[in-house]
Chain A
Amino acid sequence: MIDIELLAKYPFLPEAREYVASIRIDELFSPIYEDVRDYAKNWIKSSFENIHLPFLRGEDRILAFYTAKLYLIAIQDPIVIQRFANHFRDSLESMLLSEEENIVDLVASGLGIDFRVAGEDIKRMNLEYRNYLVFRMIHFIDFVKSASRISGDAFRLINYPLKDGWVPVNKETFVKILREAFVRNFTREIEEKRGDAKILRRYVGNDIREILEIKDKFISRYSSEELGAVKSDAFPPCIKSILVKLRNGVNLPHQARFFLVTFLHRIGMSNEDILKLFATAPDFREDMTRYQIQHITGKISGKEYEVPKCETLRAYGLCVRDVYKDKLCQKDWMTHPLLYYKLKKEWLSKRSQSSE
């Protein structure tokens, strides 16, 4: 039997389900549970304000987490879901870092991670040669599932002494892998329960509205409808698809962000307008993002980065010509997204002239 305080810290563990299984939905939305619901609602809202609510103890936190999940299932808004998941992820990471080994293992198993304890030989060898303390061996498939969402050398598979499918990692890396696994499982579960949204909305209508208002306020602080002088109709499909993902709160890989910024900058969008576009990213922080944009566009470094060509984008998996079957992209000579933009823009303006 796992201690209830432990489950309160990690309410996503399968064992926590026992505490909520017996509660019916209509009970949960009766006055008895009002405080739990308030907490859940504020919990979600707090993820937009980057504040951490006072920690609830015991059963209440388990229930509040469960309720927050129900809200998210009812809302089915990718931005809100990601925002909350990332918020939770951050506190999860700091909690796990200070836990005993057996607790970390317990959470890892609960998240469905395939891992094992490293043998002495591997520990010794890693310490001697690569100078890090092996905490656990993680199966490389689970490693890449999480690591591909994190940037930095410590998360590139090729940098590890991989053997028979096992990646020896230190505690910090292991915890980061768990943290991403949580986000993945959590968002997937909410998406899969999409079918329940309708019924739930009957109970949570008002609360949802409140949450969505906070989100809208947050986004409108930044976003503008207009993309300025640039012609978004003429964007190549790769840029369009990145923008759609961004709008849906998908966490973009580094190369995608980089590409988007260089592209928009080159076609004349102002840095402030570019910044606004990123407001829907799940990990948006104004200062960080502004810094990155200024870096890429040469405001800080003095080095203005080039817009990557199609070939490079293809290597990064950002080219979507095969998915979208775009005619221009299928041409042999289509080698650069800026070329696409230029041609399409001319073509569009010709067309609008002739139809006038």
Chain B
Amino acid sequence: MKEIIRYLNDIIKGLCTLVKGMAVTGHYFFHPKLITTQQYPENRATLKMQERFRGEVIMPHDANNRHKCTGCGICEMNCPNGSIEIITRMIETPEGKKKKVIDKHIYHLGMCTLCNLCVKACPTGAIVMGQKFEHAVWDRSQLTKVLNQPGSEIMTDEKE
């Protein structure tokens, strides 16, 4: 007899714990305002990443197509996995001096671990982290980018 009572007791107690759990889920069922799910990609227009979000390395250019990169190669040295290649060329300045400028700042997004070391190391602040996070492409080669735009040159006198 005792056994049966204990058995029934266990069933009732067990059911109570289940109801307790159901109360939590039920609460959310009847309060849809509390649900925090985002409707991505429908909310693309309003979805904004935080300002420090590290999406990819970019090189900002001003209105005259000028950037701040001197071609020093420090970012290339600091990158732990060889995602950056710096190719420089020599030009002759109007005063007749030889000067090294950046030819191509090649960035392999496919290899980049977004560790921020290059951005931190760059002495002129020429590269920053971009906010884009939808990086899917059809072909791997599209992940290799040249960060300095064609025809761009370095900001010379003014400091911004």
The reply to whether chain A is a binding partner of chain B is no
